[in-house]
């Protein structure tokens, strides 16, 4: 089964319309498309081809814990310890939208070594040691994450150079966030 990838302008219109109906729905849809944009821009073709259909058909949610603002050195990256066969991750991520209590993927900044300020990795709700902590707006599936001894393999890296990946997605993310803000504003005016 082939799943259609809406164009960015169509996605932005959908985010605005969703936020006009329900700000929480708009936040979930915006986060989902931001995750899709990360996959489209990432150099990990295998991960993109495997995960993109699941995100597009909605069978899995995507949350994003990396932000555009701030210098690379200011990003709160998770601690990673090299185990020789992968990495052990520990830390805490602040609340983000679109992290439901069932199936989800999250994109997180991780300090994997001195070469880059941070890398962007993907973890899934099925990984041992990844704990969802509900916070804020439950309708937006907002949750923080507690990460305790999560084993992570290199093939789950979206990009070794996290700042470069964020620069690549910045224009699309800004467009989506403007649409979200416009829809939320129209929702408030209609209410």
Instruction: Check pLDDT > 90 for residue 84.
Output: no
Q: Which CA distances in Å does 87 have to 3, 8, 84, 147?
A: 33, 34, 8, 13
* Average pLDDT across the chain, whole number: 91
Range of the domain at 168: 8-190
- Residue 2 belongs to some domain of the structure: no
> Can you tell me the mean pLDDT for 88-114?
92
Q: What is the pLDDT of residue 2?
A: 60
- Residue 3 belongs to some domain of the structure: no
Instruction: Check pLDDT > 60 for residue 42.
Output: yes
Which of 15-19, 88-92, 156-160 holds the top average pLDDT? 15-19
> Can you tell me the mean pLDDT for 164-174?
96
How many structural domains are present in the chain? 1
CATH number (domain holding residue 90): 2.40.110.10
- Residue 78 belongs to some domain of the structure: yes
Mind giving me the DSSP string for the chain?
-------HHHHHHHHHHHHHH-HHHHHHHHHHHHHHHHHHHSS-HHHHHHHHHHHHTTSSEEEE---SSS-GGGS-PEEEEE-SSSEEEEEEEEEESS--SSSEEEEEEEE--TTSS-EEEEEETTSTTEEEEE-S-GGGT-EEEEEEEEEE-GGGEEES-HHHHHHHHHHHHHHHHHHHHHHHHHHHHH-
Kindly indicate the confidence band of residue 67, based on its pLDDT and cuts at 50, 70 and 90: confident
Instruction: Check pLDDT > 70 for residue 139.
Output: yes
- Residue 1 belongs to some domain of the structure: no
pLDDT per residue as tens digits for the range 27-40? 999 999 999 999 99
- Residue 174 belongs to some domain of the structure: yes
> Can you tell me the mean pLDDT for 124-128?
95
Instruction: Check pLDDT > 80 for residue 70.
Output: no
- Residue 96 belongs to some domain of the structure: yes
> Can you tell me the mean pLDDT for 136-158?
91
- Residue 146 belongs to some domain of the structure: yes
- Residue 113 belongs to some domain of the structure: yes
Instruction: Check pLDDT > 60 for residue 71.
Output: no
| Residue 52: φ, ψ to 5° | -55, -45
Instruction: Check pLDDT > 80 for residue 159.
Output: yes
Q: What is the pTM of this model?
A: 0.93
CA dihedral 135, 162, 180, 32 (to 10 degrees): -70
């Amino acid at each position: 089964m082939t799943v259609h990838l809406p164009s960015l302008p169509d996605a932005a219109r959908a985010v605005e319309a969703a936020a006009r109906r329900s700000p929480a729905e708009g936040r979930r849809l915006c986060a989902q498309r931001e995750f899709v944009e990360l996959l489209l821009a990432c150099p990990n073709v295998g991960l993109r081809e495997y995960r993109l259909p699941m995100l597009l058909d909605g069978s899995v949610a995507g949350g994003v814990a990396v932000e555009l603002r701030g210098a690379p050195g200011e990003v709160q990256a998770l601690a990673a310890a090299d185990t020789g066969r992968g990495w052990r991750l520990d830390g805490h991520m602040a609340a983000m939208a679109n992290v439901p209590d069932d199936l989800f993927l999250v994109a997180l900044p991780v300090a994997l070594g001195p070469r880059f300020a941070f890398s962007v990795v993907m973890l899934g709700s099925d990984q041992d040691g990844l704990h969802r902590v509900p916070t804020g707006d439950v309708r937006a599936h907002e949750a923080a994450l507690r990460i305790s001894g999560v084993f992570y393999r290199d093939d789950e890296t979206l990009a070794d150079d996290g700042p470069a990946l964020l620069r690549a997605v910045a224009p699309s993310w800004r467009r989506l966030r403007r649409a979200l803000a416009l829809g939320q504003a129209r929702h408030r005016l209609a209410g």
